Chains A and B, each alone.
Chain A
Amino acid sequence: MRLRKGEKPTRRMAHVWDSSRCMACGACVMACTSTNAPEMMHREEKGWGGLASNIRRIDSVTAQGRPQVTLVQCQHCENAPCVSNCPFGAVYYDEDGLVRLDPRMCAGCSYCVTSCPYNVRWFHPDTGLPEKCMGEACLELVKDGLKPACVQSCPAGARDFGDLNDPQSTVSVLLRKKRSHRLLEHTGTEPKYFVVEGS
């Protein structure tokens, strides 16, 4: 259900990525594509180069020379520029506080793409839609009370998804116990994607 302006979501669903447990196996990236866009499994995403997925993998090296991976996806920001900038109201918040796209109202203008500070949207070559987390298949999983594909597939238990409004949810408990940060907080987007750094 689309939230009207000023309405508050009943739940505040958030993603958590525990970087201290992640071994960069890429299972979440593969699971995301095979669940939400299986037709893209053998096609290259031309923008980023590589597999079309709602999770963007950034490989780098730390100052000490250690390999490092960063996983980025839609942050489901509470002050999302893609929602405020979409000219046709195609991008909206649902009752879970998730940022969603209504394909009926999308003209493919790319304003949501340039408005997102996290560069997490990719254009589906067949539909022209700016895809991002969460895909329709993952939304179905959540509706059935299950976790999204990336959480289910992670062999290291480095991913989680849950309600920040519920103090007993696994994400709320984890974020209370462990130190975490959010990406590009200074932009004021109020992201709901938490990167756990360790204990």
Chain B
Amino acid sequence: MNPVDLHFQTNIAHWSWTIAAFLWFVGIAGMGSVAYYFVRKKPMAIVIFASLVLGLALVFSHLGRWWNMPMVFWTMISEGHFNFGSWMLIGIAVLSVHLVFSAILLVANLPGVLERFGWLKWTRRLDENDLFVGFFGFIGFFGTVYSGFLISQAVGIPLWNTALIPLLWVISASVATVAVLELFYVFGWVDERVSVFGIRLGLGLDAAKLLAILAFLHVSMAVGAAAGARYGAAEMVSGDLATMTWLGVIGIGILVPMAIAAFTILRGKSKPLLFISSIAALTGVFLLRAVVLLAGVWEPLVL
């Protein structure tokens, strides 16, 4: 391919590390909310809330005209311009609801706060309500799906225009959530049953994630794919981003946790190894988002 008119979106739109971290936090909060239905623990509520706050703070800081937000919302509301066909607006709505719900569940998990502010005891009742917590999990799942569609609907970047991205985001966010639960086990915040289930689930999710990444690269590089998609995928496979893909995303992010999970199943648990596995998995999930963003190029108009 003659690399004329190749422009990486990171140089122009600047969707790079900040947005990767935003997508990572949204994924952890999202699939973490699904896990919260089964593991209603204070550390999980803290992680979900903190992830949402950090993710939203990062994406807000990335706005080129953040100072104009009050005017934006005022004009939207006063003139009635709501573009609910945009995944970004859908995401803003979903993440806002998610943030409020996560704050409620966080308060419900803070006995000191409930004792001091008795009028907040209704949060405890919501935390015990399966319907509410189930809806909370659904909102979290939808938020993770949104973070995939946000990217895949950016029509200008052919590498991203695939249904595999939302799927990949959900699988990898699930991997990250299992890693968080394993960390909780290492720190003694959840019991062993959660860890045993997590190790087996994590192994399956790692395999699914590996398959989804290879499918994403294969489809993007196949004959007939847009030139921009092929160039972006080639950057990931053998270009400047290859080290991040093979060593970071697949080596550290998938193969290390898989090897440790297999070892654990065969030989028994080791907390230091589980700690390494969890950190590696979380790193891999972050790098996956970063490498997909960094590899985004526009369709060259001259070949």
> Taking beta carbons and an 8 Å cutoff, which residues of A are in contact with B?
46-48, 58-61, 68, 70, 72, 81, 84-90, 102, 104-111, 113-119, 121-123, 127-129, 183-184, 187, 189
- Given A58-B302, A81-B155, A81-B156: A89 and B83 within 8 A (CB)? yes
Q: Contact flags (1/0) for B138-149 with A, using CB distance below 8 Å?
A: 000000000000
Within 8 Å CB of A109, what residues of B?
Answer: 62-64, 88
- Given A111-B86, A119-B156: A48 and B7 within 8 A (CB)? yes
Main secondary structure on B side of the interface with A? loop
> Taking beta carbons and an 8 Å cutoff, which residues of B are in contact with A?
2, 4-5, 7, 9, 11-15, 62-66, 68-69, 71-72, 75-76, 81-83, 85-89, 91-92, 153-157, 296, 298-299, 301-302
Nearest-CB residue, chain B, relative to A71: B301
- Given A68-B302, A122-B12: A87 and B83 within 8 A (CB)? yes
Within 8 Å CB of B75, what residues of A?
Answer: 88, 102, 104-105
- Given A114-B15, A116-B156, A119-B298: A107 and B87 within 8 A (CB)? no
Within 8 Å CB of B156, what residues of A?
Answer: 81, 113-119
- Do residues A105 and B81 form an inter-chain contact, with CB atoms below 8 A? yes
Give the docked Cα–Cα distance between A70 and B65 (Å).
32
- Do residues B154 and A114 form an inter-chain contact, with CB atoms below 8 A? yes
- Do residues B83 and A70 form an inter-chain contact, with CB atoms below 8 A? no
- Do residues A88 and B81 form an inter-chain contact, with CB atoms below 8 A? yes
Within 8 Å CB of B85, what residues of A?
Answer: 84-85
- Looking at B14, B85, B153, B301, which has the most chain A CB atoms within 10 Å of its CB? B301
Nearest-CB residue, chain A, relative to B14: A110
Give the docked Cα–Cα distance between A119 and B7 (Å).
8
Within 8 Å CB of A47, what residues of B?
Answer: 7, 11-12
Q: List 13 A-B contacts (CB under 8 A).
A: A58-B5, A59-B4, A60-B4, A70-B5, A81-B153, A87-B83, A88-B72, A105-B76, A110-B14, A114-B15, A116-B156, A118-B298, A119-B298
